[in-house]
Structure 1
Amino acid sequence: MAGDKDTLLSMGFDPARVEWALKAIGNRGLQPAMDHILENEGKPVPDLGAVNESSSSRPADGMDVDDDEDLEALRAMGLAKGASGSADAEAKSIKCSQCGKTFKNTGLANYHAEKSGHDQFEESTEEIKPLTEEEKKQKLEELRVKMAEKRARKAEEEAKENRANELIRRKQGTDMNKLKEELKEKEILKEVEAKKREKIEDAKARAAVKAQIEADKKARAEKAAREKALREGRAIVDAPSTSAPAPAAQAVASGTPKVHTHARLQIRMSTGGPPLTTTLPAEAPLRELAEFVASHSPDIDVDNVTFTQNFPRKTFAVGDFSKTLKDLGFVPSAALVATP
């Protein structure tokens, strides 16, 4: 109907969907057309030439027996009483026994059956009057409210989905930043460990070089002393050793005080482990002892190590590294505790 079509178009429905709905229900009223549009909102509009209009029919008892299509439809629904039967009262509508709705014709009843799945119908003498203008306006308002609610639900679902996606995105970003920070911390730790190992290796190398220099100096001094003794015709006397007490005994017997040129040192680590022993020249600085200890213990830092003497109780730190072992009282021997 032109009036229903104009009304639907004024509501903003797509013209193609309006044509589809009106043709599909056979122009049977505004409400069925709106129901059809809402039911098929997400479906593509088919070729209207292939859409069959709902057949026009009259109530079951007043139908023309020559209208085979309507007769067969009513028989299928159990409405027809026979090919030429008639009711006591004239049937003016068709009623759904399951939900109580009444329909003007079999086309609308069939549409309701397909939509709801109901299959029990009966004839009714209730006459369905056409909608007044006021009722049409009310139906339109109900449709607008229904569509607004549907749009609101859809917007709420989309907002909920967007919030969930945003939370997932933020969590992924947080996890990625945390992973980057952990990797950065590991790289920093690796660099610190590498620098520490490099420092220890440098200290060991310096200590080894200094020890070699001292050994070379000692060897050259002994060689020079032997050569001088040979030139002067004196007996060659080897450097004193801890295993040969004869020179010390000779010095005591002759009354000449013995001059100690080396310091025998025993160092215990405050962190535990076996003690270290070494012999250094009496004129060697305390720093040389620190480098020796650092070369044998990776926990020792040359610039931070301290030495403690128990008897008498004294502590020696980096400020004493330039002093000789002789000046510090470590000659001829001393026992110390090294603390990192």
Structure 2
Amino acid sequence: MANDKETLLSMGFDPSRVEWALKATGNRGLHSAMDHILEHEGQPVPDLSAVTSSTSGSGRTDQPMDVDEDEDDADTLRAIAAKSGAPISAADLEAKSIKCTECGKIFKNTALANFHAEKSGHDQFEESTEEVKPLTEEEKVQKLAELREKMAAKRAVKAKEEAKENKANEALRRKAGKDMNKVKEDLQAKEIQKEVEQKRRDKIEDAKAKAAIKAQIEADKRARAEKAAREKALREGRPIVDAPASTSAANARPAASASSGVAGRDYKETRLQIRLAGGGQPYTTTLSSDATLREVAEFLAAQTMSVDVETVAFVQSHPRKAFSQADFSRTLRDLGLTPSAVLIAS
């Protein structure tokens, strides 16, 4: 048995099919096992614990029956016929195979006939006196070569299908990877945009804070200057004048106020519209008429990063009038911008 198994394995047969063949044939030899393997080609290997030897059970074997077995079967058939009264034909006593009446193929046993019925759909069979001759050595070699060719073809088809499936899976994996990378890139772009917007807001807030500090510094300077002027006037015995310098300037131009039709009217607030020379959305604000032109520049610098308080210049559109850094300490009232004006910043 061990030699038969090793021989079959060396011929390239699957180990599970070799075990099945040896157990099903009752270890009757190499040729019986090879016949079983070739006859059951394409069938799934069953659970070997449920496989019984063909030498047991119903009494039918994969090999021709000996004389004693034939005589026992014949006696059984005669006894059944005697009870039923049916005649016994020679074909009943000498049946050695099963024949498919639809296609004419002959099978050695019922298992092969059932397998043929499942594959072809044929259901008309009869017993035959024709004996299925065992394969010759040349036929076995040829059958083995055909079997190996079929197995190689099946492996090639399976390998091709697996390669195609692997290619499709790889394409899906790459697409999923690209989609994931796109999502990551979009998230990164959004995060970068958020950071840029936050930096811009922080810069504007810093500019506003700086403008407020500068305005406070200017106010402190004016307060100190006024305090120093009062102290000096007290030391020199001169009268203290609390009115701001802008008051005299406002009183010095009664003609201009009269020409505008609002003589003697004091505007406490001034509404400004400021446009950038390079274009864009205008900025509007309302300031005290006593606010200086520097405070206007600080307001504009807090709104856009393209404006520097120390270098910006203003031009009044109508009537046409230019203001320089020397005018930054003058109030809006002194500059004649009340009650409203349009300025162009450059």
Cα distance change of structure 1 residues 141 and 228 upon mapping to structure 2, 3 Å threshold:
same
Q: Which one-letter code corresponds to 2:212 in the other structure?
A: A
2:13 aligned residue: 13
Number of residue pairs aligned between Structure 1 and Structure 2: 302
Q: Which one-letter code corresponds to 1:86 in the other structure?
A: S
Q: Secondary structure at the match of 2:326?
A: coil
Q: Which one-letter code corresponds to 2:89 in the other structure?
A: S
Select which of 313, 332, 335 maps to 2:335: 332
2:192 aligned residue: 188
Q: Which one-letter code corresponds to 1:206 in the other structure?
A: K
- 1:203 Cα deviation after fit: 0.9
1:259 aligned residue: none
Equivalent residue runs for 1:1-340 within 5 Å? 8-14=8-14, 17-24=17-24, 30-36=34-40, 38-41=42-45, 46-47=48-49, 51-53=52-54, 55-56=60-61, 64=70, 66-67=72-73, 85-87=88-90, 91-106=95-110, 108-109=112-113, 112=116, 119-230=123-234, 231-234=236-239, 236=241, 238-240=243-245, 246=251, 248-249=253-254, 266-269=272-275, 270-272=280-282, 274-277=284-287, 279=290, 281=292, 289-295=296-302, 297=303, 299-303=304-308, 307=314, 309-310=316-317, 323-325=325-327, 332-333=335-336, 335-337=341-343
- 1:91 Cα deviation after fit: 4.1
Cα distance change of structure 1 residues 289 and 35 upon mapping to structure 2, 3 Å threshold:
farther
2:266 aligned residue: none
Cα distance change of structure 1 residues 84 and 113 upon mapping to structure 2, 3 Å threshold:
farther
Cα distance change of structure 1 residues 338 and 115 upon mapping to structure 2, 3 Å threshold:
same
Unaligned runs of 5+ in 1: 76-80, 251-263
Cα distance change of structure 1 residues 234 and 3 upon mapping to structure 2, 3 Å threshold:
closer
Task: Note the aligned Cα RMSD (angstroms).
Answer: 4.8
2:263 aligned residue: none
Q: 1:58, 1:105 within 8 Å by CA — same for their partners in 2? A: no
CA distance in 2, matches of 1:144, 1:314: 104
- 1:181 Cα deviation after fit: 2.0
Q: Secondary structure at the match of 2:163?
A: helix
Cα distance change of structure 1 residues 3 and 293 upon mapping to structure 2, 3 Å threshold:
closer
Q: Which one-letter code corresponds to 2:215 in the other structure?
A: A
Cα distance change of structure 1 residues 308 and 67 upon mapping to structure 2, 3 Å threshold:
farther
Cα distance change of structure 1 residues 138 and 314 upon mapping to structure 2, 3 Å threshold:
farther
Cα distance change of structure 1 residues 211 and 10 upon mapping to structure 2, 3 Å threshold:
closer
Q: Which one-letter code corresponds to 2:53 in the other structure?
A: N
Runs of 4+ that moved beyond 6 A: 1-7, 81-84, 114-117, 312-316
Q: 1:4, 1:30 within 8 Å by CA — same for their partners in 2? A: no
Q: Once the two structures are superposed, what CA deviation does each residue of 1:228-285 show, in whole Å capped at 9, x if it has no partner?
A: 44442436351155799545559xxxxxxxxxxxxx8934245146444465557x5x
- 1:163 Cα deviation after fit: 1.8
TM-score by length of 1: 0.66
Q: Secondary structure at the match of 1:205?
A: helix
Q: Which shows bigger deviation, 139-148 or 264-273? A: 264-273
